[in-house]
């Protein structure tokens, strides 16, 4: 709540809840980034990834974190200034967690080139920072929002992008992703796209999860399908292209081959986008 | 816009026109993608991997010589574990033979690699050939 919690004896409470928020952030970073910290391809990317693409990924992460912070945050953030502060803290937690885990697993050595070590940490800090940010919403759940709030359409799309990016980062670096694209026929790909779109719509509207969306009884179902699900799927595919390009998975392939790998990655990405609408 | 209350969200009845515009553009993109894929699925015949090697450059390295090449797979099927053998010949005699393996050469795609020789390829015949592959 914006103004209510700022009486004089609350300074200590505020500090305590901030520390709790940090703890949840670390827990979230560990829970959600550990699969990536323990994936071989992610370590190799530390020395193979093109530095300008890595930089772009790190920069794109910042507005996503700020948006997530504005939405959930470590504390109830109401101004964009606080959101920026929380995003920086989450990024920091992501970096520190990555350093600790990578070092503990013996993936950082003293005789390793500095640029390789930094690239490894920087790459892992992106999912870890998103994890840190989600930690509060996932693990905290002291939902104080009894009142109505409205999500503008563009933030709804941005949240889907964040969810899609998070799952893409899990899967885009793995070799399995490319093998699937090589093995499947175009018919398989068409089935995967239909499955992605159906599941996306179903998760958000049909299955009654907490956080699910519902429509007014008189609104036809396809209204939400056209306004939210299809744009969400396009966002998920765009994020897939971005993730594949960042990890140099597109290569010198023909358009059909690129499309197949984008569709394979678009499957988890679209589920990530749908999950973001449910959770956030 | 979406209204949220008690963890449940309800889509607004009176959306801004930009939501419909985005929705319609997205629908067109998804439809175009499906149209294209269906067309490709009907017209693209599956052909077994067809591998061609093109030698790009021959350069001296610190300890030997590097022959860089591109390998193209012009077919619509991906080849895995593609072995490429490079031979350095003098007349009919093979004086050096080395090989390299590509994890994948994707369908209708190009991959790049190099074979290293101890002997100088200048004045000799460099012969680089794909030797085999597996299905992915």
**Residue A252 with chain B: CB contacts under 8 Å:** 109-111
Contact flag A231-B136 (C-beta cutoff 8 Å)? no
Distance between CA atoms of residues A135 and A131, nearest Å: 6
Among B17, B27, B105, most A C-beta atoms within 10 A, so best to mutate, is B27
With contacts defined as CB-CB under 8 Å, which chain B residues touch A231? Answer: 22-23, 26
- Residue B12 phi/psi, 5-degree rounding, is -70, 145
Pairing verdict, β B2-5 and B8-11: antiparallel
Spans of all domains in chain A: 7-141, 153-280
* Interchain pair B7, A234: CB under 8 A: no
Q: Is A178 on the interface with B (CB under 8 A)?
A: yes
Nearest-Cα distance to chain A for B14, in Å, is: 10
Chain A nearest-CA distance from B78, in A, is 6
CATH superfamily, domain B51-134, is Lipoprotein YajI-like (2.60.40.1620)
Q: Is B11 on the interface with A (CB under 8 A)?
A: yes
CB contact under 8 A, B6 and A146: yes
ipTM of the complex: 0.80
End-to-end CA gap in chain A: 18
Check CB contact under 8 Å for A143 and B7. Answer: yes
DSSP for A100-131 reads: HHHHHTT---TTS-HHHHHHHHHHHHHHHHHH
pLDDT of res. B10: 67
Least CB–CB distance from A231: residue in B2, B26, B136: B26
Cα gap A117→A37, rounded to integer Å: 13
A179 and B41: CB-CB below 8 Å?
A: no
Nearest CB to A226 within list B27, B41, B111: B27
User: Cα–Cα distance between A134 and B136 in angstroms, integer?
Assistant: 37
pLDDT in tens, B8-39: 666 766 778 888 899 999 999 999 999 999 99
Which element (helix H / strand E) includes A150? Answer: strand A149-151
Helix (H, G, I), strand (E, B) or coil at A133: helix
**Mutation for B interface: A209, A221, A227, most B CBs within 10 A:** A227
Do residue B9 and residue A149 have CB atoms under 8 angstroms apart? no
Burial A264-274 (b: 16+ CB within 10 A, else e): bbbbbbbbbbb
For residue B21, the Cα-to-chain-centroid distance in whole angstroms is: 36
The reply to whether A275 touches chain B by the CB within 8 Å rule is: no
Tell me the average confidence (pLDDT) per consecutive run of 10 residues in chain A, 280 residues long: 54 81 88 86 86 92 87 63 87 94 89 89 92 73 50 84 89 88 91 95 77 71 87 95 90 87 95 87
Cα separation of A163 and A168, whole Å? 9
Residue A26 distance to chain B (closest CA, Å):
25
Cβ–Cβ under 8 Å, residues A277 and A159: yes
Q: Where are the beta strands (DSSP E) in chain B?
A: 2-5, 8-11, 51-60, 65-73, 79-90, 93-105, 109-117, 125-134
Looking at residue B66, what is its pLDDT? Answer: 93
Q: Measure the CA–CA gap between B134 and A46, rounded to whole angstroms.
A: 29
pLDDT in tens, B74-107: 999 999 999 999 999 988 889 999 999 999 898 8
Those of residues 59-118 in B touching chain A at CB distance below 8 A are 78, 80, 103-104, 106-111
Which pLDDT belongs to residue A166? Answer: 87
Q: How far apart are CA A65 and CA A126, in angstroms?
A: 10
Residue B32 has what pLDDT?
A: 96
């Amino acid at each position: 709540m914006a103004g209510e919690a700022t009486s004089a004896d609350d300074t200590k409470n505020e500090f305590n809840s901030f520390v709790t928020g940090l703890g949840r952030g670390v827990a979230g970073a560990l829970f959600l980034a550990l699969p990536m910290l323990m994936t071989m391809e992610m370590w190799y990317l530390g020395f193979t990834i093109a530095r300008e693409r890595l930089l772009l990924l790190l920069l794109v992460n910042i507005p996503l974190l700020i948006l997530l912070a504005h939405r959930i945050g470590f504390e109830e953030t109401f101004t964009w200034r606080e959101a920026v502060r929380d995003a920086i803290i989450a990024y920091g937690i992501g970096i520190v967690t990555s350093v600790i885990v990578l070092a503990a697993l013996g993936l950082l050595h003293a005789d390793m080139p500095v640029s390789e070590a930094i690239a490894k940490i920087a790459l892992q800090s992106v999912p870890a920072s998103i994890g840190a940010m989600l930690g509060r919403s996932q693990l905290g759940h002291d939902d104080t929002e009894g009142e109505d709030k409205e999500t503008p359409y563009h933030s709804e799309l941005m949240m889907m992008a964040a969810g899609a990016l998070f799952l893409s980062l899990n899967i885009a670096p793995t070799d399995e992703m490319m093998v699937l694209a090589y093995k499947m026929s175009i018919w398989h790909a068409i089935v995967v796209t239909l499955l992605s779109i159906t599941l996306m719509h179903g998760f958000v509207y049909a299955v009654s999860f907490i956080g699910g969306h519902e429509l007014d009884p008189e609104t036809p179902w396809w209204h939400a399908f056209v306004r939210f699900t299809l744009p969400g799927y396009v966002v998920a595919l765009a994020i897939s292209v971005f993730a594949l390009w960042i990890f140099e998975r597109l290569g010198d392939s023909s358009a059909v081959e690129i499309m197949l790998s984008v569709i394979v990655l678009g499957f988890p990405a679209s589920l990530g986008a749908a999950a973001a609408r449910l959770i956030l | 816009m979406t209204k949220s209350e008690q963890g449940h969200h309800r889509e607004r009845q009176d959306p801004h026109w930009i939501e419909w515009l985005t929705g319609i553009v997205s629908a067109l993109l998804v439809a175009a993608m499906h149209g294209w894929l269906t067309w490709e699925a009907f017209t693209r015949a599956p052909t077994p991997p067809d591998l061609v090697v093109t030698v790009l450059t021959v350069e001296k390295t610190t300890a030997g010589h590097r022959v860089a090449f591109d390998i193209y797979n012009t077919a619509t099927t991906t080849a895995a574990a593609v072995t490429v053998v490079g031979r350095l010949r003098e007349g009919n005699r093979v004086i050096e033979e080395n090989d390299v393996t590509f994890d994948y050469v994707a369908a209708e795609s190009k991959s790049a690699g190099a074979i290293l020789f101890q002997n100088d390829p200048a004045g000799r015949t460099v012969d680089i050939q794909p030797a085999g592959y597996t299905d992915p």
